[in-house]
Structure 1
């Protein structure tokens, strides 16, 4: 027997779902749900949130599907299409009502490791101060086959390489993410205590809401850990690519939204950390500057030099000293070019 504070929590999988009638959407969802049924620890529930799908039969389909899977499954229907972030938020009251303790987000085409629930319950029970956990990821295609690293889009290739970097543990590790890492906040690889998820719901934006939320979680001082041995299988189809990028319309537009939405979350994290007294205003400007340099390099790899140049110029204006220390001569030239254009 363990003390009450050490009682392993119930894990609530929250899945945002949108259906416009393509058969593969329902097949992927079925595989995602099967990966939950295959959990080695049965202490879980599932909440599938229908994000106002345009396919008329989607509501009846989800109701029938959850009824078939059993009482631990629930379908929640939204009357407004707001994107994945707001859809995930809609499940939180139901999770709280049903006594859920930990949220494990999972996209409707990704596959949970069979031990995800077991690992999460153990980690959260053993450390009452722990609030956020993330998993490593493995890229798979539409048929469930692994990607070779050199086949991925350049930005995804960066993310794949970062899987080999030391894992992040402790508090205020958002700084490492901001200045050094492409993204460790794939929604399907994120889990958090319900109380933190209620405090920082996903923003009402359609893309890159995950990184913005990640920054806010960790900027609040939340303690982070990595779930060893329960790698997420993250689906990126070979035909069509990332669903978010497809819905955004094109890669450059997606990256432009990304720069704005991620930055908003980082600015909030900096403000919270400064208010907590763990960060000075000068250090905050330096972190924002280095983030802008990093994201500029990321979008530049995708071929969006104009967008990258804007980020370099913003970085220079935020903190000229830090920019001079961390930007390459070519990056400094690009920033200066924008400054000259703006002045003229």
Structure 2
């Protein structure tokens, strides 16, 4: 899998300043600037550090890999779900910043998917979680992950909460923290403190 970064443009094809971007879009671009996702087992880095990493329009995938791990039927985060499984199934991530695409976001309105889908963030949380759990299952079956499953899941839920919190989805973010705490309260506190998130409204335990 080869992916690149992108430049956000408005409805008139003018570049959009980063200060005008939604937090979740900004999070993707931030992930490209420092230590972009690369190599094998990229699903771990995506799940616990970066969050959503590569736009479909900025991604090229080998046909045999795409055929083996098709997109799910969902209409929210279906690409993220597929990317996680691609990686867990043995696909390598390659980042190439020299072939950026352009991503149109009309200003003053949410992205198309968020505008047309009710309960967008609830669906995103559910699909991202299912994709990560499925990636974990695939990696375990292939013998590519033999680490601490509980620690990994705690970090995943905290990262998902962080992404949702940046979009002011505080209740939903708090639900992810509760899931992490149900696995290990001690590990959840440790991760929140390490990421300097312990003071966030949605991070209260």
Structure 1 length as normaliser, TM-score?
Answer: 0.55
Going by fraction, where is strand more abundant, 1 or 2? 1
2:153 is matched with: 288
Instruction: Judge conservation of contact 2:170–2:201 (CA < 8 Å) in 1.
Output: no
Partner of 1:178: 47
Unmatched segments (≥5 aa) in structure 1: 1-131, 337-344
| Runs of at least 5 residues in structure 2 that lack an aligned partner in the other structure | none
The answer to whether 1:207 aligns with 2:98 is no
String of CA shifts for 1:236-271, please: whole Å, max 9, x gaps: 11142311101113xxx2111110001111101111
Give the superposition deviation at 1:207. 0.7
Once the two structures are superposed, the pairs formed by residues 34-45 of structure 1 within 5 Å of their partners are none
2:166 aligned to 301, 313, 317, which one?
301
RMSD over aligned CA atoms reads: 1.9
Which range moves more in the overlay, 159-168 or 137-146? 159-168
Asked if the contact 2:5–2:29 (Cα under 8 Å) also holds between the matched residues in 1, the reply is: no
Q: Which residue of 2 aligns with 1:35?
A: none
Larger RCO (CA within 8 A; separation ≥ 6): 2
**Matched residue of 2:99: which SS?**
strand
- Cα deviation, 1:193-237, whole Å, max 9, x if unaligned, reads 111111110001011101111100001121221234100111111
Cα distance in 1, alignment partners of residues 29 and 201 from structure 2: 28
Report the secondary structure of 1:265's partner residue. helix
Match of 2:123 in 1: 257
Whole-angstrom distance in 2 between the partners of 1:257 and 1:140: 26
- Higher radius of gyration, 1 or 2: 1
Deviation at 1:318, TM superposition (A): 2.6
Which residue in the other structure is 2:137 paired with? 271
Structure 2 length normalisation: TM-score?
Answer: 0.90
Runs of 4+ in 1 over 6 A off after TM superposition: none
Alpha-carbon offset, residue 331 of structure 1:
6.0
Q: Within 2, Cα distance between the matches of 1:310 and 1:256?
A: 10
Q: Which residue of 2 aligns with 1:142?
A: 11
